[in-house]
A and B are shown apart, each in its own frame.
Chain A
């Protein structure tokens, strides 16, 4: 006997993500799911972002890592609340993990929540956590062929930050190749070319965040 089913395999996660999304909306909170490979500069971007915006926006950060609370400590040092999730081997954050830590945040008194996903250019793109936008970082040292090799994340992200542009002279990376391929995959993607080390280009990213939080 055959039974027709037609059910989305990720339905359990998606139901929880919708719950998170509804809650964020009720609280007027703008949420960003920040993704990249390990070492692309997610935490450094967040350190800079917290520093630049903490006086204007009430913000908090959720840090996702396989192990350790190194990142949450780095962010907390900058003076905002940071909560660490350890996935203990899991390659991505899911909606349930986010829901479990939301009780530790004072959502009524927040404008911006940034979730730093586990460093991984593949899996996090598949799992909705209820965010408003997915943003990703690609650093120029990773090479300009990454959109070709990992198209899903580039398709799913609303924002692409191309980081470490101060290192361009020391790599064979052609930044135009990244731009072209990313726009081909996702014509609406917003691209910021930045260096989290020197601060170059970050003003545009801050400005974009401020515009988004105003819409909330």
Chain B
């Protein structure tokens, strides 16, 4: 439900970056979205399409790269991908896992056809 305000945040950032780089039209926006965030990609895409109408990013592709949840076992140090946030260490079955990735949420690139 908060995807609309997030889409607005994306539009504000890309407008700012477009101005800095003298870009008049944006054709694609790439972002990284960790699996351990409460953001729903399809809802975000829908809101982005809606909110960019009539702006420099109208019709731009929103490419969302999902970042998996990875962690390091506090017991044996093994690093691995967690299918869900409740996995035990596949090596030693350790329970305490320090999360390394999965909370990312940032724009990494914009593209223009100019």
Contacts and interface: CB of A to CB of B under 8 A. Distances in A.
A126 B110 contact: no
B38 A152 contact: yes
A172 interface: no
A1 B96 CA distance: 44
Contact of A151 (B21, B36, B112): B36
Given A8-B105, A9-B9, A10-B9, A1 B2 contact: no
A12 B106 CA distance: 12
Contacts of B108: 4-6
Contacts, number: 85
Contacts of A3: 17, 21, 23, 109-112
Contacts of B112: 1, 3
Given A5-B107, A11-B13, A152 B36 contact: yes
A10 B6 contact: yes
Contacts of A6: 106-108
Given A3-B111, A122-B1, A155-B85, 18 more contacts: A1-B112, A2-B109, A2-B110, A3-B21, A3-B23, A3-B110, A4-B109, A6-B108, A9-B10, A10-B105, A12-B9, A120-B1, A123-B1, A126-B38, A151-B84, A152-B38, A153-B38, A184-B95
Interface of B: 1-2, 5-6, 9-10, 12-14, 17, 21, 23, 31, 36-39, 84-86, 95-96, 99, 105-112, 114
